[in-house]
Amino acid sequence: MTANANVSTRWLDRVWSIGIHRPEKRSALDEAMFDALAKALEAPQNDPEAGAVLLHGTADCFCAGHDLAAFETLWPQPADGAVVRLLNALVRQKKALVAAVCGPAVGIGATMLLHADYVVAGQSATFRFPFVDLDIVPEAGATALLARRVGDLCARDWLLSGRTFDAEEALHRGFVSTVEPDADVLPVAARYAMKLADKPDGVVSAIRNLLVEGATRTAEAAILAELNGLNTRIPEVIASQKVSVHRRSEAKQTD
């Protein structure tokens, strides 16, 4: 579907699985890969059969970030540029997003994880935000999202030092959800994604939106947003249940 040899897509039941694999470049992203990843993330958003998205790299590397050789041709980015479209696809994600990480996750390979709902890291996983050493600022909303996830001082440490940290530190700080043996990472992530895919699609999207927007709301504003959601959702659920009961009743009469 993505028409790119380095970005693959496939269905795992109701989970849309996206793989990044460019082993000769440690899965660093060039323009074509940014474009393919954006399209792969956009593809299931309005598909009612898609319950969740699974994002993974190879057994040795998740993603080494932006291919530095592509910097000159990609930047500055136009409004419809490949990098911009990938970042928008991440932040506008409607489906539950699960990530499986083995080996290095660097630059955008690390910042994209801030948009995931669950991150399974292998024991070999390492993470780095190298922007300060490249003399550039972070991307993918990291300056807003990282501190929310791991705390202000930790975010400052990781972003200002540009140091590498391992899976255990990432788990301790709340950057990843669980650490597993490398061989188990993809199966564990796939099983969790399948669990989320079985949840009602509309409510998963609604909860994700409330969580994202709630990070900048006061408690009072969050309560009002939740009430608006409940006022819409509960009548829909009740109506759906009534239809199910009616259909079961008709089926019994037919029998």
In terms of Cα–Cα distance, which of 140, 157, 155 is closest to 97? 140
- 167 residue type, one letter: A
Q: Please, how many CA atoms are within 13 Å of residue 110, restricted to the half-sphere of its CB?
A: 29
Residue ranges of domains in the chain: 7-197, 201-254
Q: Which long-range contacts (CB under 8 A, 24 or more apart) does 47-51 make?
A: 47/16, 48/201, 49/14, 50/14, 50/15, 50/16, 50/95, 50/197, 51/14, 51/15, 51/95, 51/96, 51/194, 51/196, 51/197, 51/198, 51/199, 51/201, 51/204
- Give the residues across from 181 on adjacent strands: none
For CA atoms 25, 29, 30, 33, the dihedral sign is positive
What number does CATH give the domain 7-197? 3.90.226.10
> pTM for the whole thing?
0.88
DSSP 228: H
pLDDT of the chain, 255 residues: tens digit per residue: 556 899 999 999 999 999 999 999 999 999 999 999 999 999 999 898 999 999 999 999 999 999 988 888 888 888 899 999 999 999 999 999 999 999 999 999 999 999 999 999 999 999 999 999 998 999 999 998 999 999 999 999 999 999 999 999 999 999 999 999 999 999 999 999 999 999 987 889 999 988 988 888 776 776 787 678 767 877 887 787 776 665 666 666 666
- Residues 6 or more apart whose Cβ sits within 8 Å of residue 21: 6, 7, 8, 27, 57, 58
Classified as helix, coil or strand, 127 is strand
pLDDT of residue 85: 95
Q: Interhelix angle for 152-161 vs 142-150, to 10°?
A: 130
